[in-house]
A = this chain, B = another copy of it.
Amino acid sequence: MPTKKKPQVTPSPERRRELLATAAEVFAAQGYNATTVRKIADAAGMLAGSLYYHFDSKESMIDEILSTFLTELWDGYDAVLAAGLGPRETIEALVTESFREIDRHRAAVAIYQKESRHLATQPRFQYLADSQQKFEKAWLGTLERGVADKTFRADLDIRLTYRFVRDTVWVAASWYRPGGQHSPEEIARQYLSMVLDGIALDT
């Protein structure tokens, strides 16, 4: 006899995705800890206990939300990094890709922003710390390449620059609304224009 056996239930993956989407909206709006499973159930039109037919814990919901987001994010990033572009073009592509991800996974990005630092300490969410490190390597490396080949200025602290750029991109998730005035590509264009060339008029 096997030591343990999960009850033989097979929830449909589509329903899971629906529920995860509404859960992500509530998490993003209220914060993970302030969100009770009853609020999620309310938003989904069911009772709290019924959620446990689809998921085995509240934690596994945010886990699945964040991990699927990061998986898709790195699909895009890896493609950009493998393209062999120059430093400036790489930065442009990464920023554009980032705003596209915000467009597609607004809620997940907002959750990531608020909770990742806190969650990354738990072993279950080790992949958050891993991802953050990979992230830093990709961006910092590109900036360094750019300084080396004189695409970027050499007089700025590159670590500070990295943090500023990174933060500015991702905080956008807190105010961005899909279907608004600006497309992700337009936002990326404006943002890149500011960071690369500055907002001051040359005198």
Residues of A within 8 A of B (CB): 30-31, 33-34, 88, 114-115, 117-118, 150-153, 155-157, 160-161, 163-164, 167-168, 171-172, 174-175, 182, 187, 190-191, 193-201
Contacts and interface: CB of A to CB of B under 8 A. Distances in A.
B194 A195 contact: yes
A191 to B, nearest CB: 6
19 contacts: A31-B33, A33-B33, A152-B201, A156-B199, A157-B182, A157-B190, A160-B182, A160-B191, A161-B199, A163-B172, A163-B175, A164-B194, A167-B168, A167-B171, A168-B168, A168-B171, A171-B171, A195-B198, A196-B198
Nearest to A176: B163
A85 to B, nearest CB: 15
Determine which residue in A30, A88, A160, A175 has the highest number of CB atoms from chain B within 10 A of its CB, and name it: A160
